[in-house]
Amino acid sequence: MRVAIGQFTVAKEPERNIAVIDGYAREAARNHARLLVLPEGVIARSDDDPHYAADHAQAINGPFVTALRGISKTHGIAVMATAHLREASAPLPYNCLLVIDHGEILLEYRKIHLYDAFGERESDVIAPGDEVPPLVDIDGWKFGVMTCYDIRFPELARRHAVAGADALVVCAAWARGTDKVDHWMTLCKARALENTCYLLACSEHGKHDIGHSMAVDPSARILTEAGERDGLVYANLDRARLDEVRRILPVLVNRRLC
């Protein structure tokens, strides 16, 4: 399976972000990608206001998600991204990773591990999820999803791998800071290697976030890496390579603890 990772600086205006995503989906489909992975918080973001994304949350049947569904259907591509979504009866919105294919929502994952670290407090403006998301099947490939800070908790990735994931997907807005690029790259490679899964990771980039989106193979080889620039990068998921790594390094078979 050919996949695309679309890194960009999320704007304050939702319509600008939809225009970028539509262009990425068109280009990715033209280059035969079946899946487009996007960053965290794609409705709206401000580098100067940490609450901006939550304050601009929409309903799942609102204009932004409706547009995402239309993009997926028009271009025949699966889309994974997180959006801040609000329910009328809930006091706080959720940070929700959506998987959309052929215009249909296959999964809504509400972020479990909120980013209360490095001086930030996501839990002040976002409600946590409490359910491990099921795997999503796209053309016979099984994907387990995580959102940003989730990647620091290896038990979630392991739950996906034990459930049968072939690939892990991380949609993020990885904050800048001392050694934070090293943290990101180390964690992406570790989650792939310890679970012998492909890993697709997309981070927003800007004054607040690092970018450096990447695809990693099951032996922790970086297949592609975006650095700090807008644009698409591509990788191919190879079933034979996945099987080979798991034959040589059968950690999922050899494990003795749950």
**Per-residue pLDDT reduced to its tens digit, 58-104:** 999 999 999 999 999 999 999 999 999 999 889 999 999 999 999 99
**Per-residue pLDDT reduced to its tens digit, 98-138:** 999 999 999 999 999 999 999 999 999 999 999 999 999 99
Mean pLDDT for 188-192 is: 98
Residue 114 lies in a domain: yes
Residue 253 lies in a domain: no
**What integer best gives the mean pLDDT of the chain?**
97
> Given this model, what pLDDT does residue 146 score?
98
Q: Taking the CA atoms of the chain, what radius of gyration do you get in angstroms?
A: 17
Specify the number of domains making up the chain.
1
**What distances in angstroms separate CA 90 from CA 83, 85, 131, one per listed residue?**
16, 10, 17
* Share above pLDDT 90 across residues of the chain, in percent, rounded to a whole number: 97
Helix (H) or strand (E) holding 252: helix 251-254
Residue 29 lies in a domain: yes
Confidence check: pLDDT of 258 > 80: no
Report the CATH number that the domain containing residue 166 is assigned in CATH: 3.60.110.10
Residue 43 lies in a domain: yes
Measured distance CA(87)–CA(58) in Å, rounded: 8
Residue 163 lies in a domain: yes
Q: Give SS3 for 256.
A: coil
> Given this model, what pLDDT does residue 210 score?
97
Confidence check: pLDDT of 213 > 90: yes
Active site residues: 40, 111, 148
Closest CA to 171 of 127, 211, 201: 201
Structural domain boundaries enclosing 22: 2-248
Residue 56 lies in a domain: yes
Closest CA to 192 of 157, 225, 238, 159: 157
> Given this model, what pLDDT does residue 184 score?
98
> Given this model, what pLDDT does residue 89 score?
87
Please give, one letter per residue, the 3-state secondary structure of 51-101.
CHHHHCCECCCCHHHHHHHHHHHHHCCEEEEEEEECCCCCCCCEEEEEEEE
> Given this model, what pLDDT does residue 110 score?
98
Mean pLDDT for 43-60 is: 95
Mean pLDDT for 182-201 is: 98
Please tell me the pTM assigned to this model.
Answer: 0.97
> Given this model, what pLDDT does residue 256 score?
93
Residue 78 lies in a domain: yes
Parallel, antiparallel, or unpaired for β 35-37 and 2-7? parallel
Measured distance CA(150)–CA(74) in Å, rounded: 31
Angle in degrees, CA 188, 19, 46, rounded to 5: 60
pLDDT band at 173 (very low <50, low <70, confident <90, very high): very high
Residue 84 corresponds to which tokens in the numbers above?
Answer: 């801040």
**Per-residue pLDDT reduced to its tens digit, 220-255:** 999 999 999 999 999 999 999 999 999 999 999 999
Residue 115 lies in a domain: yes
